[in-house]
Structures are given as C-alpha cells and as structure tokens.
C-alpha cells in the first residue's frame, strides 16, 4: 500500500485577482511542503487549485503549515485530501456570524442597553476561553426582564444574511445536498433562516418566558452546544444514509470545532485566530459562495449552478 496521499490546495484570493507576488510565494511554499511536481488548474481569476502528493504521515504537519502560511494574509489556502471534492451530501452551518452577520443574543440585549456586557461574554466564548454552556447561562440571565412579545418579528427585519449565502444554498440544493443550521442562538430566528434559505433542518436554543412573554433569564430544554452540534450532524447523516465523510461543517466559533471534527471536512468562516488554527480549513473572503471553489467548481460552473 502506498504511503502517499494525493492532495489539493485551493488558493482563493480576497481581491478580484491573484497578485503576481502571491502567486510566486504560494509556488515557493508548495516546493517547501512537497517534493513532487504539482498540477495547476485555474478555477477563476482569483482561485487556483494545486494537486500533488505528500507522504501520508506528514498530512497533519503540512495542514498546520498551510494554515499558518495564510493567516492574516490577503489569500486563503485550503488543503484537502483529494477524495471526490464534489461528492459532498450534507452541509451543517452555524448561524450567528456565519449564515448571518450578527450575534442574535446581542441584538436582543440591545433592547435593555446591555449589548456590551453580552458581547464581551460572547467574544470569550467564541475564542474558547469560556465553556459554552456557562457563557450562554450568563448571557441569558442578563436578558431577564425583556419583553419578547414582538422581538422575533422585529429581529427578522434586522438580521442580515451573509454575502454569498443565498446563492450558495441554492447551488447546494441543486446539487442534491441536505442543509441544516445548528445554532447556539435561538430557534425562532433559526427557523426563519431555514425558511428563507430553503434549508432542511433548524436546531437552536429556546428562551424561557413567563405568562406575559417576559424573558425569565433561563433556557428550556437541552442546550445546543458544541457536542450537540456534532451529535446533530451525525444524526442527520444517519437519517439520510450519508457517510459523515461526505458532510461539511461551517462555523466561526470554538463551539463549531467539534462538529467540524466529526464531519468529513470543516470550514472556519472568518473565525478568530485560535479557531482558525484548530479548524480543518479557513475561509476569510467576503462571500460564502467561495465554498464552491473549495469543492472544485470553476467560475463558469458556479454561474450555472446559481441561475
């Protein structure tokens, strides 16, 4: 049995074109990590694929080198084992700061002018500095006393779907993929996003209220934390007879790392540096539609998919 693994590195520029100095640097980097020749395929003016072989035992070390190489750069490098890039069947997304730009709990906190307090706890949790369950408990407790009668309808008008999400989900549905949102946020908006994007599943937390719809500072039922997200990904895959290796998990926080680890592939979307270093791959562009480049689609193929 060969001790080599065929891999692909996808270079995605953050601007309209790949500058010449970046192209030179990436090719130098490829020579550093692989002793074999590589083939090159241009997917668009700002995206190239490089296919090559590496020693299987070195994959983990090379992955870390790839992620360190492009951290805080004007381009992303995504390393994958070349196992049918286009064969993905399930995509599970985080919601806050992934499918939408905002953190919903901070929007709710603004009704009581405590968004700064909530945001500080959120930041620490997303960095992995706080246990998610504890951070959620602390933040939800701060919301106690807010009248929730009209909040969800109002928030539906305030939330902004991330650039590229609508065409991405449209394309993935056309490709026959199942799509889910698994959020540490709250179910009313997760259901709204599910309906807006045509997703198949929505899972999130439920806020407790009293008889007058006043938030009581508690949540109801099992918390959708990192472990639960991973569990839900595996449940959805099993329900549809999908090998978890054909699943992709996409999120921005430390509580998304577990579901990335049980999926065949994981993408940290504009995540904190600590999360980027632990995630299987990082995408720091302006559009989530770039996920299709990671799957190996060319610009013309993408245009056909989103029509």
Phi, psi of 62 (to 5 degrees): -70, -35
Residues 250, 252, 255, 259: what is their CA dihedral angle, to the nearest 10 degrees? 10
- Give me 232's structure tokens: 């839900």
Q: How far is it, in rounded angstroms, from Cα 93 to Cα 147?
A: 29
Neighbours of 49 (CB within 10 A): 22
Q: What is the pLDDT of residue 289?
A: 98
CA nearest neighbour of 155 among 92, 220, 219, 95: 95
Q: How far is it, in rounded angstroms, from Cα 92 to Cα 233?
A: 7
Sorted by sequence, the CB contacts under 8 Å of residue 183 that are 6+ apart come out as: 94, 95, 96, 190, 202, 203, 204, 205, 224
Q: What is the pLDDT of residue 1?
A: 45
C-alpha dihedral sign at 211, 217, 222, 224: positive
Q: What is the pLDDT of residue 67?
A: 87
Q: 246 with 275: CB under 8 angstroms? A: no
| Annotated catalytic residue within 94, 252, 256, 290 | 94
* Residue 12: burial class (beta carbons within 10 Å; 0-12, 13-18, 19+): buried
Helix, strand, coil % over all residues of the chain, rounded to 5: 45, 25, 30
Pair type for strands 201-209 and 178-186: parallel
Q: How far is it, in rounded angstroms, from Cα 178 to Cα 175?
A: 9
| Annotated catalytic residue within 15, 16, 96, 131 | 96
Q: What is the pLDDT of residue 84?
A: 72
Q: How far is it, in rounded angstroms, from Cα 214 to Cα 212?
A: 5
Q: 180 with 202: CB under 8 angstroms? A: yes
Neighbours of 173 (CB within 10 A): 17
Residue extents of the structural domains in the chain: 1-82, 87-307
- Give me 160's structure tokens: 């902004």
∠ CA 120-252-47, nearest 5°, is 140
Q: What is the pLDDT of residue 127?
A: 80
DSSP state, residue 23: H
- Give yes or no: 96 in active site: yes
Gyration radius of the chain over CA positions? 20
CATH fit for domain 1-82, picks 3.30.2130.10, 3.40.50.920, 3.40.1160.10, 3.40.50.1470: 3.30.2130.10
User: Is the CATH code 3.40.50.1000 the one for domain 87-307?
Assistant: yes
pLDDT in tens, the chain (307 residues): 468 889 999 999 999 999 999 999 999 999 888 877 889 999 999 999 999 988 888 899 999 999 888 888 899 999 998 877 899 999 999 999 999 999 999 999 999 999 999 999 988 888 888 889 999 999 999 999 999 999 999 999 999 999 999 999 999 999 999 999 999 999 999 999 999 999 999 999 999 999 999 999 999 999 999 999 999 999 999 999 999 999 999 999 999 999 999 999 999 999 988 888 899 999 999 999 999 999 999 999 999 999 9
Q: How far is it, in rounded angstroms, from Cα 272 to Cα 212?
A: 39
């Amino acid at each position: 049995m060969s001790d080599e693994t065929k891999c692909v590195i996808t270079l995605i520029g953050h601007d309209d074109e790949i500058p010449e100095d970046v192209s030179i640097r990436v090719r130098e980097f490829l020579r550093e990590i692989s002793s074999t020749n590589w083939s090159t395929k241009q997917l668009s003016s700002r995206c190239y694929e490089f296919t090559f072989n590496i020693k299987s035992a070195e994959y983990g070390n090379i992955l870390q080198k790839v992620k360190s190489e492009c951290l805080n750069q004007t381009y992303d490098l995504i390393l994958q084992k070349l196992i049918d890039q286009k064969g993905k069947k399930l995509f599970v997304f985080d919601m806050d700061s992934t499918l939408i730009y905002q953190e919903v709990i901070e929007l709710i906190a603004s009704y009581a002018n405590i968004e700064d307090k909530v945001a500080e706890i959120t930041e620490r949790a997303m960095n992995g500095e706080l246990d998610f369950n504890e951070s959620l408990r602390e933040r939800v407790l701060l919301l106690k006393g807010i009248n929730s009668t009209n909040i969800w309808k109002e928030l539906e008008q305030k939330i902004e779907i991330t650039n590229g999400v609508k065409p991405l989900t449209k394309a993935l549905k056309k490709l026959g993929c199942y799509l889910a949102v698994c959020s540490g946020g709250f179910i009313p908006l997760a259901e709204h996003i599910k309906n807006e994007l045509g997703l198949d599943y929505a899972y999130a937390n439920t806020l407790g209220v009293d008889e007058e719809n006043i938030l009581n500072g508690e949540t109801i039922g099992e918390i959708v934390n990192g472990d639960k997200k991973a569990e839900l990904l595996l449940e959805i895959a099993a329900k549809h007879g999908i090998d978890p290796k054909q699943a992709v998990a996409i999120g921005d926080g430390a509580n998304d790392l577990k579901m990335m680890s049980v999926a065949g592939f994981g993408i940290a979307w504009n995540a904190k540096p600590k999360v980027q270093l632990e995630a299987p791959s990082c995408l720091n562009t302006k559009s989530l539609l770039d996920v299709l480049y990671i799957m190996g689609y060319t610009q013309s193929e993408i245009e056909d998919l989103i029509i």
